[in-house]
Structure 1
Amino acid sequence: MFSKRALAAVALATGSVIALAGCAGSPEPAGTYDPDEKVSLDLAFWGNDVRADLYNKAIDAFNEKYPNIKVSTSFLAFPEFWEKRQTEAAGKNLPDVMQFDYSYLRQYSENGLLLDLDPYLGGIIETDPLPKNILDIGVVNDTTYGIATSTNAWGLFTNPVLLEKAGADEFPGGSWDDYTAWMKDITDASGGEYWGGSDYTGRIQNFELQLRAEGGNLFTEDGKPGFDEARLTAFWEEGQSIRDGIGAPQQTVEEALPLGPFDTAITASELTWDNFGAGYLGNLGESYTELGLVAPPVTEEGAKDLYLKPSMLHSIAANTDHPEAAATLVNFLVNSPESGEIFGTNRGLPASETALAAADLDPLSQQVKAYEESIADRLGDAPPVPIVGYGTLEEKFRQLGVELNFGTMTVDEAVSQFFTEMDVALNS
């Protein structure tokens, strides 16, 4: 998996460049693609040779239906992919169709760089296989700029081997205090060999979960913070008992890098996105054939605190000369049974019901599918698309969590630093 943090500074630093590259608006659609029209499209995605081979197979299947659309593909690792897009954005020369990341959707769309997809929805781009909450993921300022290829949700992974060693059951659900108590029981039972979990207050997503349960979000649609200093102070203070011995010591976590404490069997649980499971299993080794996956702690009963997030989206450049053909390609890559059969879960659990039905799901993917079905009552609307610079703030939140765990910073100091950083990000 490629790190998104490496580009956080780039996103902020180049924001002004992209702003200059904005286009006046999206071209009017002709309605449908004329299959007799011969066109050429560029398709860009991030990934590796394995994903490239899958895209080549998908394009071959696409050309069986649309032989007059020639598709040229290119791919890079995640950081290099966005560096290249930044350069192309400045010259209004983005590829016709792009695999797109949620964190950049607002930045590119608000600067006129992405095509308005609304005129194609229900026509060229089929919407029946895509639930409304999935379609809404790609909406910025009431306009659709991306179609999710796949989804994931926040969940709690657990290590069944470590739980058995500790004589502990799966986390049965409950409050954040209940989760902390469950972690403590495992830590105490391990005799210092491993820990029940990590300090969950080091992840901004867990803070977001609590804010959503209270009826808010990290940021409003117009980019204002959805919390004040007192609320962030309370959240970080919530993790003090975990930092005092319940959770894995930060020095132990650092020594495991570049892997994390969960996929090195240092901790028995990890709160994260549910599509991380395959990577965890791969890192834990052959002795692991399964993981536990249950819902995160509850802040308020009945709250719609969870949501489906796109693993990735497909978007079309506003500068494309062939919007109908590009929309036809996007529809195929998202909705077609052929796409589902070819990609499987390489891009995450397919968001389209037709693609999902055709995908051959391995046991872990079936577990993720069952998990997302199990949390249906907690799924609410997706939050506003991340603000420009969100990646920088996410990383700053994590870094401050590290400092808190090392004991080199007080909660008040961490809160002050985060609000200073947030002020810079919101006013750049």
Structure 2
Amino acid sequence: MSRRIAASLAIAAAAALALAGCGGGGAAKPADVTFDKDTKAEISFSWWGNDDRAARFEQAIAGFNKEYPNVKVVRNFNAWGDYWTARNTEAAGHALPDVVMMDAGYLGEYASKGLLLDLTPYRENLLPLKGVADNVLGSGTVDGKLESVPLGTNAWSMMYNKDILDKLGIAYPTGDMTWDQLDAFIKKVDAAGASSDPKIYGAEDYTGGFPNFIYHLMQQKNPVFKKDGTPAFSKKDVISFLDSAASLRKAGAFYPIDRSIALSPSGGFLAGESALWFNFSTTVLQGMTDAGTENIGMVTPPLADGEKTHILAPKPSMLLSVSANSKQPEAAAALVDYLVTSPDVAKIFGTSLGTPATQAGRDAIDQQPADTVNLDYLDSISKELTASYPILPSGYGTIEAKWGDLHEQLQYGQITSKQFADELFSEMSLALGS
């Protein structure tokens, strides 16, 4: 499925989500709510991911059932795009799974519709979340309500395939590169990889994803969204960002869009045909798995000329929410606490769900190559994690999907950067009420 079709489906599903309204919110539970470990219950749990993640959750839930032997957990997972289509359809009918894997980009949207349970009243007994820092929980708190609990955190990064660069005889990128130096690096890889079969490219268009635009705004010390959820950036900001890569785009220096769509959802880096990949650090496991090599490095994204330090923010890699329509919220809360705080779960997943939220979880990891790369990277940038990740408004998922759809058209030459900005702001006007 092309990203354009996927984006259209996401937008259509988001429209269904809007019909969910504010009904279905459960009444607040008393602070002393308890759940006996021998109580019988059945809850559903849905997440996005591949077969590897599913196998790991099987192990994790088996551990949960040692503590709660009479709680049956009905499991379901989908690929990313299909996952949100299914959840949005369920949300329209107030039929979400009891425990829902949540993304920061969708949290505000679901919370604003009253679809998620406020977990604050469960903290005293069922959901103590021992060892999870308050600032980590802040990324799941909406209007003072704990609507989602981070499983882990990660940070924006630039990954590179060492095997490709070694083969081409090109030195690895560094964390102090400027964007101009990166452009030169991309051209150098393109030239060295031109005779390879298939041809090797430096990178896909780095303006293709909204998270890199967020990084760009943060580096300029500019806000991304206002408190009311409307954009704090302008059309001019969007155009300037897109045009920063216009020369490479015009020269055909980026990984071809036709090939990228044909490989979707993989792309050039995961296919082993492009040297660089901008993504959050936790995705290094996917990079190693799909590209078929453990020789993946990770450094900070480039700086603009004159910038000396990075302005980075820890982002919740994924979160867990309890649906407001859950008939077994106590059992659901118990599962959330176990998955977030159990060192056994951290050992099962390593850093594939992000850096574990507790020190006990981090200490329990039997580091595999992907874990080591991720943890070493986060440790190396600890002094640069100075900002809080922007609160993403209701409708953000639709905006991110629209960005991808428009960027596809931009790469094909079907629209200009100005038309891109105009259409993006029209979409935001509908989705965000801006």
Which TM-score applies when normalising by structure 2? 0.86
Equivalent residue, structure 2, for 1:399: 405
Q: CA deviation at 1:218?
A: 2.8
Q: Distance in 1 between the 2:317 and 2:29 partners?
A: 28
Q: Distance in 2 between the 1:190 and 1:43 partners?
A: 45
Q: Structure 2 residue aligned with 1:411, among 400, 417, 424?
A: 417
Q: Distance in 1 between the 2:82 and 2:402 partners?
A: 22
Going from structure 1 to structure 2, the CA distance change for 1:409 and 1:263 (only over 3 Å counts) comes to same
Q: CA deviation at 1:174?
A: 2.6
1:11–1:388 contact (8 Å) kept in structure 2: no
| Secondary structure at 1:19 match in 2 | coil
1:71 and 2:72 aligned = yes
Going from structure 1 to structure 2, the CA distance change for 1:177 and 1:122 (only over 3 Å counts) comes to farther
Q: CA deviation at 1:336?
A: 0.8
**Counterpart code for 2:96:** L
Q: CA deviation at 1:122?
A: 6.2
1:282 and 2:289 aligned = yes
Equivalent residue, structure 2, for 1:421: 427
CA root-mean-square deviation? 3.0
Going from structure 1 to structure 2, the CA distance change for 1:304 and 1:132 (only over 3 Å counts) comes to farther
Equivalent residue, structure 1, for 2:205: 199
1:212–1:304 contact (8 Å) kept in structure 2: no
Q: Structure 2 residue aligned with 1:367, among 349, 368, 373?
A: 373
Equivalent residue, structure 2, for 1:185: 188
Say which is worse superposed, 47-56 or 334-343, in terms of deviation. Answer: 47-56
Going from structure 1 to structure 2, the CA distance change for 1:256 and 1:278 (only over 3 Å counts) comes to farther
The equivalences for 1:21-100 within 5 A come to 21-23=23-25, 25-35=27-37, 37-47=39-49, 50-67=52-69, 69-78=70-79, 79-100=81-102
1:92–1:113 contact (8 Å) kept in structure 2: yes
Unaligned runs of 5+ in 1: none
Q: Structure 2 residue aligned with 1:154, among 147, 153, 156?
A: 156
- State how many pairs are aligned: 424
Equivalent residue, structure 2, for 1:313: 319
Going from structure 1 to structure 2, the CA distance change for 1:301 and 1:117 (only over 3 Å counts) comes to farther
Unaligned runs of 5+ in 2: none
**Counterpart code for 1:8:** A
1:229–1:415 contact (8 Å) kept in structure 2: yes
Q: Structure 2 residue aligned with 1:268, among 255, 275, 297?
A: 275
Q: CA deviation at 1:104?
A: 2.4
Q: CA deviation at 1:275?
A: 2.7
1:115–1:145 contact (8 Å) kept in structure 2: yes
**Counterpart code for 1:183:** I
Q: Distance in 1 between the 2:303 and 2:326 partners?
A: 45
Per-residue deviation, residues 161-184 of structure 1 (Å, max 9, x unmatched) = 332244321112232222222223
2:294–2:370 contact (8 Å) kept in structure 1: no
2:16–2:89 contact (8 Å) kept in structure 1: no
Identity %: 33
Equivalent residue, structure 1, for 2:113: 111
1:337–1:358 contact (8 Å) kept in structure 2: yes
Q: CA deviation at 1:155?
A: 0.8
Q: Distance in 2 between the 1:357 and 1:409 partners?
A: 50
**Counterpart code for 1:263:** L
1:116–1:144 contact (8 Å) kept in structure 2: yes
Per-residue deviation, residues 50-100 of structure 1 (Å, max 9, x unmatched) = 544433433332233234x51331203145544444444344443332222
Equivalent residue, structure 2, for 1:295: 300
Going from structure 1 to structure 2, the CA distance change for 1:13 and 1:421 (only over 3 Å counts) comes to same
1:5–1:391 contact (8 Å) kept in structure 2: no
Say which is worse superposed, 239-248 or 122-131, in terms of deviation. Answer: 122-131
Going from structure 1 to structure 2, the CA distance change for 1:38 and 1:164 (only over 3 Å counts) comes to closer
Say which is worse superposed, 12-21 or 339-348, in terms of deviation. Answer: 339-348
Q: Distance in 1 between the 2:86 and 2:164 partners?
A: 43
The equivalences for 1:101-180 within 5 A come to 101-121=103-123, 123-172=125-174, 173-180=176-183
Per-residue deviation, residues 214-258 of structure 1 (Å, max 9, x unmatched) = 223332232111211111121111111221337325356347523
Q: Distance in 2 between the 1:331 and 1:255 partners?
A: 39
Going from structure 1 to structure 2, the CA distance change for 1:188 and 1:53 (only over 3 Å counts) comes to closer
Q: CA deviation at 1:10?
A: 3.6
Which TM-score applies when normalising by structure 1? 0.87
Per-residue deviation, residues 121-154 of structure 1 (Å, max 9, x unmatched) = 4653344422333212212223211111133321
1:40–1:70 contact (8 Å) kept in structure 2: yes
**Counterpart code for 1:284:** A
**Counterpart code for 1:118:** T
Q: Distance in 1 between the 2:412 and 2:405 partners?
A: 11
The equivalences for 1:223-372 within 5 A come to 223-245=229-251, 247-248=253-254, 250-251=256-257, 253-254=259-260, 257-258=263-264, 259-285=266-292, 288-299=293-304, 301=307, 305-372=311-378
Q: CA deviation at 1:304?
A: 6.0
Going from structure 1 to structure 2, the CA distance change for 1:204 and 1:331 (only over 3 Å counts) comes to same
Q: CA deviation at 1:201?
A: 1.6
